[in-house]
Amino acid sequence: MSLLAPGAWPSSATALDVPAHKDFVATIRAMTRSAAALSDLAVDDVEELQMAIDEAATLLLPLVDPDGDRRLVAEFQIEPADLCVTLRARARRGAEVDRSGLAWIMLTALDPEVVVASEGDDVSISIRRSRSGEGS
């Protein structure tokens, strides 16, 4: 049974804004599990999505500008075909996601189509998971 009936909500867009600190990554994982369950993802997909989001947070936190607002924002968008989660932080000028370490290896193993984007001083990582159980 789908938990998401058409038109059930005015909008599925949800955002979680937490301090950019390692102690709050578990909170983002919990919200990810909740959004994934609302999206009817399979149990394995729920676990993999929360792991991917955790790795995205691990990659973003070192980039955070200590003189900025030091916030980590997770945006959840449940769409008919998939669930998209975007993690965003205000980064130090010129800071880039480390694509050489274990976190990146695991993130791209979980989602080969992960999107890393920069807009002004913001850096974001977006992960999409199909609701049909056929991958992203």
Partner 1 sequence: MSLPRLGRVTIVSTFQATPQSDLDGRPVLGVKGEIDLASAQALVEAAEAFAAANPGEPVRIDLSDTTFMDSTGLGALINIRNGALERGGELEVTGRSRAVERAFELAGLTDVFGPKGE
Which stretches of the chain bind partner 1, using CB under 8 A? 22-23, 25-27, 29-31, 33-34, 47-48, 50-51, 54-55, 57-58, 61, 101-103, 105-106, 109-110
Q: Name the minimum Å distance from CB 27 to partner 1.
A: 5
**Minimum distance between the CB of residue 120 and partner 1, rounded to whole angstroms?**
26
Q: Which is nearer to partner 1, 81 or 99 (CB)?
A: 99
Which residue number, 30 or 115, has a Cβ lying nearer to partner 1?
30
Distance of closest approach, residue 2 Cβ to partner 1, in angstroms: 19
In the numeric block, the tokens 């976190």 are attached to: 103
Toward partner 1, which CB reaches closer, 54 or 82?
54
